[in-house]
Structure 1
Amino acid sequence: MAEPYYITTAISYPNGRPHIGHAYEAIAADAIARFQRQAGRDVRFQTGTDEHGLKMVQAARAEGRPVAQLADEMSGYFRDMCDALNISYDRFVRTTEPAHYRASQALWEAMAAKGDLYPSRYEGWYSVRDEAFYTDAEVVEGEGGIKLSPQGTPVEWTVEESWFFRLSKYQQPLLDLYARDPDFIRPDGRRNEVTRFVEGGLTDLSVSRTSFDWGVPVPGADGHVMYVWVDALTNYLTGIGYPDADAAERRYWPADLHLIGKDIVRFHAVYWPAFLMSADIPLPKSVFGHGFLLHRGEKMSKSIGNVVDPQALVAAFGVDALRYFLLRDVSFGQDGSYSAEAIVTRVNAELANSFGNLAQRTLSFIAKNLEGAFPSVGTAAEADGMLIEEVVVACAGLRAAFGDLALSQGIETWMRGVFACNQYIDAQAPWALRKTNPDRMHAVLRTLVRAIRMLAIAILPVVPTAAAKVLDQVGAEERDHAAIDDDGWYERVAASGFRIAPPAPVFPRLELPPEAA
């Protein structure tokens, strides 16, 4: 049986429509999931929506309608975004579903059985926008005397009866975890930030609310609903059948990767492992906090008016072009920036002019001059073997980088294989060999077809639809495996009588939208 691999995104808070930051995280997680499937892993990929909390109550109240109705509508927009971006999720969790209530209450009861929950009174600073509590030391004074969180969001002094979780009990176990397993929090900068925060001392955490009732009810405590982060984090267990020990999906736990934004690393790397330790549940293997996606170098904001609907970008540039740009241009784990001009420049230079043009002119030449038949072995030369070796190395480099979550570097390495192919075709000039040395022309074209297939398989996790079209054009049905030189593939397809039809361009050149020009 294949080794399980469980990857999750953060579940999105649907008090507003999806933005490009949500799309970026979903695309990155999807590329990793597809890569792991190619590597032969039994992948479980989960995403969803986090629908409880005061922000949702306030948003529904502002629109004058029931909060459940708002949650249904807004959750649908996030599912639509995933489908539009070709996100291959296996489970879309909604925190309003009965299975999630059951999982959250089971986790609560496990923490209570450990003696880690107790009733008390919360007095302190709370940010509705962050759904987070802050200490006096973390709060700063903004313009007009307004108190702000470290994220710059307004905080309110809150007094409320609450259940508390003994977070302070887990300060040393958490520090021991970070020291024992440096890869638990990635990249390194995020781990260092979290370690400093925990070293500064942990206070017990308020984990229930009584000021509203939109949430998972606390077992045995009438009038209390769970603090939204207890509820939200539990989604990772909901999706694998917790608390049913015999659920088939339980084989995927512990999660291999929680992929999240850097602004919620504290919740995933401090609160979540502490909850799991309390409940005697194995810890996830890694939490990776990616950076923010900026628009022309600026953080996106409704007030500035630079928030972009990801589906509008899909309509303007295409799904695979958008996926390629975001994974290629943004160094994974760091902040990145995008603009219409940057997307057009990158995609045209690398997909349209380099890989797309390579496939188009090679396959068109075969369709026109060989009636689509696979070229014979021909007269081999040292350059042929050198090119195949360069492509194998480039594809292996992509695989190694993706295995380490260095997505941009992996694609850059893949591009070296593409550039090598273009240098080879220009140097070998099969169009000239057609008249002077047809036998050598066959060898050159055969080498190029083999290289194109390997490159298409390697880049499939990034541009799945377009890469699949290239593979269809060369008759390569086997694509969900590691991109290595498959001995005998070429000969099998050639012997089958497969013919390369005149190919349509898979990566058309992009034009700058009129509104961006």
Structure 2
Amino acid sequence: MSEPFYITTAISYPNGPPHIGHAYEAIAADVIARFQRSQGRDVRFQTGTDEHGLKMAQTARAEGIEPRALADRMSLLFREMCDTLNVSYDRFIRTSQPDHYRASQAIWKAMEERGDLYLDRYEGWYSVRDEAYYEEDELVPGEDGEKLSPQGTPVEWTVEESWFFRLSKYQQPLLDLYAAKPEFIRPDSRRNEVVRFVEGGLKDLSISRTSFDWGVPVPGSDNHVMYVWLDALTNYITGLGYPDETELWKRYWPADVHLIGKDVVRFHAVYWPAFLMSAGIDLPKMIYGHGFLLSRGEKMSKSVGNVVDPLALAQGFGVDQLRYFLMREVTFGQDGSYSAEAIVNRVNAELANSFGNLAQRTLSMIFKNLEGIIPAAGDAAEDKDLLQKVDQACAELTQRFGDYAFSVGLEAWMGAVFACNAYIDAQAPWALRKTDPERMMAVLGTLVVAVRKLTEAVAPVIPASAEKLLAHIDSGKAGQPIAQPQPLFPRLELSEDEEAAA
């Protein structure tokens, strides 16, 4: 039986529609999942929506509807985003589902049995937008002198009865974890931030609220609902059947990687392992905090008006084109920037003019000159040299993707595409058609082998296009003629509005 691999995204908070940041994380996780499947792993991939908390309650109240109605409507948008972007999830989880309530209450009871929960009164600064508590010394001044969270969001002074988790008890166990397993938090910049935060001292954490009721009820304290982050993080084990010893649970836990944004690293790399230690549950193997996707170098915000609908981008440029751009353009783990002209330039240069044109020229010549019959690869030195370059590039892509260095892997892959185009120009099969038809056949056969290998390697990034191209090539097996090929990646053009913004 193949080796299991369990990957999750952070579940999205659906108090507003999806934006390009949600799409970026979903696409990156999908590339990892598809890549691991291509390596023979038995992959389980989970994403979903985090539907409880004060923000959802307030948004619903402002619309004059119940929180569940808002959650039902908005969660559907996130699922549609994943489906449109060809995200191959195994489960789209919703925290309002009954099995999630059961799992959240089970982990609460396990932590309570450990003696790690106690009832007290909470007084402190709370950010509704972040659904997070902050210490006084973490706050930053705003333009008008008001206090803001480290993320720049408004905070308000909150006083209420609350259950607390003995997070302070886990300060040293967490530091021991980070020291023993340096790969637990990646990249290193995130790990260093977390270590510094924990070394600064951990205070017990308020993990229930009484000021609203949209959440998972606390067992035995019906007027309390769980702190939304305790409930949200539990989704990763809900999806495998916790607290039951299901086949999914035995096979896939602990998770291989929780893929998350850098703004929620603290919750995943401090609170989550502490909750799991308390409940006696194995820890995930890795927390990977990727960077932000910026619009022309600026963070996206509704007030600035630069929030982009990812479905509009996918519709305008193509799903695979958008996926390729995001994985190629951004150094994974760091912040990256995008714009319409950057997408057009990258896709036209690399997918349309280079890879797509290579496949189109090769298959069109076979269709026109060889009655669609794919010939065997050549065995001349230059043929072998090209295929060796392709093999080396595909091997480097495999190594780099295994280490989440997508842009580096795609750069190596692109080098092999350029080598193929240089080879076709040097060999000039259109000229060989008259002077040396046998050699023309060997050149075209070599190119088909190269294109097929390159297509298989890049398939996790551009799955629909790769599937179409591989099907076209494979239709020529057993001496069957291939049909006339159609361009995979038509050249993109900027709209008038996009040209004006460029």
Shift, 1:502, TM fit: 1.0
8 Å CA contact retained: 2:314, 2:322: yes
Corresponding residue number in structure 1 for 2:491 = 509
Question: SS of 1:316's equivalent?
Answer: helix
Q: Distance in 2 between matches of 1:106 and 1:509?
A: 54
In the TM superposition, what whole-angstrom CA distance separates every residue of 1:2-36 from its partner, at most 9, and x where no partner exists?
A: 11100000000000000000000000000000000
Q: Distance in 2 between matches of 1:120 and 1:73?
A: 36
Q: Distance in 2 between matches of 1:242 and 1:57?
A: 27
Task: For 1:275, give the aligned amino acid.
Answer: F
Q: Distance in 2 between matches of 1:376 and 1:9?
A: 44
2:226 matches 1:234: no
Q: Distance in 1 between matches of 2:169 and 2:147?
A: 29
Q: Distance in 2 between matches of 1:222 and 1:26?
A: 35
Identify unmatched segments of 5+ residues in structure 1. 477-492
In the TM superposition, what whole-angstrom CA distance separates every residue of 1:458-484 from its partner, at most 9, and x where no partner exists?
A: 0000000011111111117xxxxxxxx
Q: Distance in 1 between matches of 2:249 and 2:86?
A: 23
2:407 matches 1:413: no
Q: Distance in 2 between matches of 1:143 and 1:96?
A: 38
8 Å CA contact retained: 2:218, 2:226: yes
Corresponding residue number in structure 2 for 1:457 = 456
8 Å CA contact retained: 1:105, 1:218: yes
Deviates more, 1:500-509 or 1:198-207: 500-509
Shift, 1:141, TM fit: 2.5
Corresponding residue number in structure 1 for 2:152 = 152
Q: Distance in 2 between matches of 1:266 and 1:246?
A: 29
Corresponding residue number in structure 1 for 2:98 = 98
Question: SS of 2:387's equivalent?
Answer: helix
Q: Distance in 2 between matches of 1:245 and 1:264?
A: 29
8 Å CA contact retained: 1:7, 1:255: yes
Corresponding residue number in structure 2 for 1:482 = none
Identify unmatched segments of 5+ residues in structure 2. none
Corresponding residue number in structure 2 for 1:260 = 260
RMSD across aligned positions (CA): 1.0
8 Å CA contact retained: 2:123, 2:159: yes
Alignment of 1:174-193 (within 5 A): 174-193=174-193
In the TM superposition, what whole-angstrom CA distance separates every residue of 1:312-359 from its partner, at most 9, and x where no partner exists?
A: 001110100000001100100000111000000000000000000000
Corresponding residue number in structure 2 for 1:439 = 438
Corresponding residue number in structure 2 for 1:371 = 371
2:497 matches 1:498: no
Question: SS of 2:126's equivalent?
Answer: strand
Normalised TM-score (structure 2):
0.98
Q: Distance in 2 between matches of 1:315 and 1:249?
A: 38
Alignment of 1:114-513 (within 5 A): 114-376=114-376, 380-475=379-474, 494=477, 496-513=478-495
Shift, 1:199, TM fit: 0.2
Task: For 2:50, give the aligned amino acid.
Answer: D
Q: Distance in 2 between matches of 1:241 and 1:41?
A: 21
8 Å CA contact retained: 1:316, 1:513: no
Shift, 1:232, TM fit: 0.2
Shift, 1:376, TM fit: 4.0
Shift, 1:89, TM fit: 0.3
Question: SS of 2:218's equivalent?
Answer: coil
Question: SS of 2:222's equivalent?
Answer: coil
Question: SS of 1:193's equivalent?
Answer: helix
In the TM superposition, what whole-angstrom CA distance separates every residue of 1:375-421 from its partner, at most 9, and x where no partner exists?
A: 1455x310000000000000011100000000111111110110110
8 Å CA contact retained: 1:114, 1:279: yes
Q: Distance in 2 between matches of 1:140 and 1:387?
A: 57
Task: For 1:298, give the aligned amino acid.
Answer: E
For the structure 1 residues 70 and 358, does the alpha-carbon distance in structure 2 shift closer, same or farther, using more than 3 Å as the test? same
Q: Distance in 2 between matches of 1:304 and 1:156?
A: 24
Task: For 1:109, give the aligned amino acid.
Answer: K
For the structure 1 residues 99 and 432, does the alpha-carbon distance in structure 2 shift closer, same or farther, using more than 3 Å as the test? same
Q: Distance in 2 between matches of 1:246 and 1:263?
A: 32
Shift, 1:140, TM fit: 2.3
Normalised TM-score (structure 1):
0.95
8 Å CA contact retained: 1:241, 1:250: no
